[in-house]
Structure 1
Amino acid sequence: MPSLDNRFLLAAVVDRIIYGQEDTFRHEDAAELLRQMPAPNPWRQLRLPFEFRVEGSMSGSRMSGSAAGLGDVSVQGDGRSFAYDSQAGHTVRVGQWKLRHSASFWEALRGHATIEIVQTLGEAGQDGRSAALVYQRGEPVELRSFRQQEKFIGKYAIINSRAVPWKTPVHRQPIEADYEVETPQGKDGGVFRAAAA
């Protein structure tokens, strides 16, 4: 896991990649991000090609009895909620970002690497909240954003998310002296959504 100092560096690097230029990002920033990220565990790369996430809640127990002066009384206990994410242990949190290597074993053999960049309240592959930085043999190739399509079958939704090209790397692009990070306003994802449109 990155140290505290490295987390500040990674947060600044990701901010520049996402919020910097409209259609390009600094090659040096993407290379630094890959260098600072912990290498994925080889056994984890042999994972199944899907992720598993469950969220739910259970109601608390109900107690009933008699109370003096009130008669029959029934009290509902506190409910409990639970959540499980098969990828949660493989994610690094830096600032407002969650970062994760997501290349499979076979992609790694071909020299491919992918770092998923997700806003803290977002999910991987979510339209307007996540992106994927793609590498070939350690060199950044492109940054992809996601577009989602939802189909409802009764009360259930099937969500299909696909990556679309967004930004390309540029060598030796200077960092502007008056560079400011403009965080997107509202829940629509701002810069991410503009890229996915």
Structure 2
Amino acid sequence: MATNSTFQLFSSSSGVSGFFDSSTETPLPPPPPPVEVLSSEVSLNVICSVEPVNLEDGLTLLKGRVSTKEVFGLPNSDLVPGVYEGGLKLWEGSLDLIKALQAEVQNGHLSFSGKRVLELGCGHGLPGIFAFLEGASAVHFQDFNAEVLQSLTIPNVNANLSEKLSPFYIKRCKF
């Protein structure tokens, strides 16, 4: 299967020995090891449904939905220290960031044209998807968990870009 050279997905962690919760000084489990996740490594065991998110000025992006129970075998929770850090939840701050970026683009104060973008803690990847739709030449997505990238980010990127881009570009990106 061909890999996509435009999108690179990474899972990483601090890797710091003696990782402590400052409120208890009890050692937490070590974070997962950093791994590179290719766009072809979508999870086939998890069903990702999508729903529209309507932003300002007619911009609509698609938001994936999966459960922590299905992906991690955990109860629906936003945080399991050292295991899951909330990447399957759509954080309102990502929508606020898109709105701020959109306003800056519209005001002529920001251009993504030809830029390389790194979205840290991407989860759904909506700000990175927005940057790509605004002309970024490459977008890199990073999250704490490889499982988030495989079960949510990749399907979400594919769903948004297959609806927004021409067939020529999709072939060029090798989705």
- Which structure's relative contact order is higher, taking Cα pairs within 8 Å and 6+ residues apart? 2
The structure number with the bigger radius of gyration is 1
User: Which one has the bigger helix percentage?
Assistant: 2
TM-score by length of 2: 0.23
Q: Give the structure with the larger strand fraction.
A: 1
